[in-house]
Amino acid sequence: MINLLSSSPRGRKLAMFFLLLLAAASGLSARTLTIVLYRPGMLSSFRELAQAFTKAHPGIRIRTLVTHGYHGSRLIQEAAYGNLPDIIQAPAYRPDFELAINGYAADLNRLRTVHKVNPDILSGVTFQGGIIALPTAISTIGVFYNRALFHRLNLSVPHTFKELQNVTKVLRAHGITPFASLLKDNQSLGEFLEFLHSAMLSTEGWGGARGAEAVVQFANAMDNGETNWGSAVNEKKLFRILKWYAQQMSPLAVNNGLNQEVAEFASGQAAMVFQQQDFVLTAQKAEKALGTSFSIGAFPFPWSNNPADNKFASTAESSFVISTQSSAGQQRAAREFLNFLASPQAIHVWTDHYKLLPAFHNVPTGNLPRAFQDIVVSEDRLGSDPWEFVLCPGPTWRYAMQDGARRYLDGQKTAEEVSREIDWSWKDHYHP
């Protein structure tokens, strides 16, 4: 009888032979999965994740590549030649739908990890009843505030629009600008405009649906030219809140870029800012440079006087699609990798190393900034609304929404004219 643990050459060879047979029997033997990332900044984290995965799954190697612009029409061109990688990281959400429409996205409904994802986020990756991509980390828009300043002025976090109005009055009475902002770049105004529109769609409903599903259905109807942007919500209320928000900024905001916006907030000149979550890490660095030090909290912008309506706007920062062009064995291995992305090891990389907000429920957030913890608590309780601009054509977002919001505030266009331009742009630039 041969001792497989023997240190003899023959024993080692036989041991390796039988281990390979066992790996082959599992259907996951000696495989190399190719993953293409569209964000170069994710490469180092994914190499770390790949090493941890391979350690747990010795029969599967991960080959990670970064290709700029590897989404949209480029992906469809690659697919036509049968060249899709096994796993595709795509910016949410339109590239995912393009892959699904053409039959290149595997159905992930039975993926274990999918059931750990925030349901509102999943609405953005559901196509014809099937889940077509796995969101892993989210990006969130909301209000970030100076907790120390709020405490000093005995201010509570506002949960309604009326409460927010009262907070701004107290701040102004103490010579503090309510909202740091930047108007030199129209993106900030565009984000606020599309946030409000999405929030109203989610709350008031559209096409018989509510929540994130209503926003997705609305975007599909806009793609097909079946509805109008302005008439889908209370247009007058939408632009009235936009104007009020602009009135809460510093008079210098018209010339502010990102650096000036950060400085206003980090110095304590402004108490709040409506921004994406990445702003928090930037502001913390600025605090150190300016010699200030305060904790940053977060709350959803309370546009409604019903607290339940007021949610953060969140989108999948990126999502992962399994290609249907891969063999059955490759797809099984790819599913193992996607399941691994919700494991404690992977979550540790997301949160501790890269300060990303995971898309999954009930994950440890103790090492994340306080503001990120506030987001997680709110979204676990109330859910979230999707970003409308990730569902519309790029030029519509950049020009009709961003520039339209600025021209409205400058008095160059009426609310109705801005809405009509969004309709025209969406129709002209949407290409299925």
Task: Name the residue among 426, 429, 430 with its Cα closest to residue 232.
Answer: 426
Do 136 and 358 touch, CB atoms closer than 8 A? yes
Residue 85, classed as helix, strand or coil, is coil
How far, in Å, are 48, 53, 64, 410 from residue 44 at the CA level?
A: 6, 14, 10, 44
Residue of higher predicted confidence among 203 and 3: 203
Structure tokens at 8: 């003899």
Residue 207, classed as helix, strand or coil, is coil
Question: In CATH, what class is 29-139+315-371?
Answer: alpha beta
CA distance 175 to 265: 14
How far, in Å, are 198, 392, 394 from residue 431 at the CA level?
A: 22, 11, 11
Give the H/E segment covering residue 321: strand 312-322
Residue 354, classed as helix, strand or coil, is coil
CA distance 42 to 365: 20
Q: What is the per-residue pLDDT for 276?
A: 93
pTM of the entire structure?
Answer: 0.87
Backbone φ and ψ for 66, nearest 5 degrees, come out as -120, 125
Do 207 and 218 touch, CB atoms closer than 8 A? yes
> What per-residue string of b and e applies to 251-266 under the rule 16 or more CB within 10 Å gives b?
eebeebeeebbbbbbb
CA 411 and chain centroid, separation: 32
Residue 36, sorted as left (phi over 0), alpha (psi -120 to 50) or beta, turns out to be: beta
- The DSSP bridge partners found for residue 250 are none
Q: What is the per-residue pLDDT for 26?
A: 46
**pLDDT confidence bin for 160, thresholds 50/70/90:** very high
Residue of higher predicted confidence among 100 and 67: 100
Q: What is the per-residue pLDDT for 16?
A: 42
CA distance 84 to 78: 6
Q: Whats the size of the chain, residue-wise?
A: 432
How far, in Å, are 104, 112, 238, 243, 406 from residue 411 at the CA level?
A: 46, 52, 16, 11, 9
Fold identical between 29-139+315-371 and 140-314+387-429?
A: yes
Do 217 and 248 touch, CB atoms closer than 8 A? no
Q: Give residue-wise pLDDT tens across range 167-213.
A: 999 999 999 999 999 988 777 889 999 999 999 999 999 989 998 88
Q: What is the per-residue pLDDT for 244?
A: 98
> For the chain, which residues make up each domain, given as ranges?
29-139+315-371, 140-314+387-429
| The pLDDT of residue 412 is above 90 | yes
Name the most confidently modeled range: 116-130, 202-216, 296-310, 379-393. Answer: 296-310
**pLDDT confidence bin for 325, thresholds 50/70/90:** very high
Q: Give residue-wise pLDDT tens across range 105-131.
A: 999 999 999 989 988 888 878 888 899
DSSP string for residues in 15-42 = HHHHHHHHHHHTT-TTEEEEEEES-GGG
How far, in Å, are 92, 223, 396 from residue 229 at the CA level?
A: 21, 11, 12
In this structure, which CATH number among 1.10.20.140, 3.30.300.30, 3.40.190.10, 1.10.3720.10 belongs to the domain 140-314+387-429? 3.40.190.10
**Average pLDDT value over all residues in the chain:** 88
Task: Name the residue among 141, 111, 133, 76 with its Cα closest to residue 276.
Answer: 141
Do 386 and 315 touch, CB atoms closer than 8 A? yes
Task: Name the residue among 39, 37, 83 with its Cα closest to residue 63.
Answer: 37
Do 300 and 157 touch, CB atoms closer than 8 A? no
Average pLDDT over residues 28-38: 82
- The DSSP bridge partners found for residue 65 are 36
| The pLDDT of residue 274 is above 80 | yes
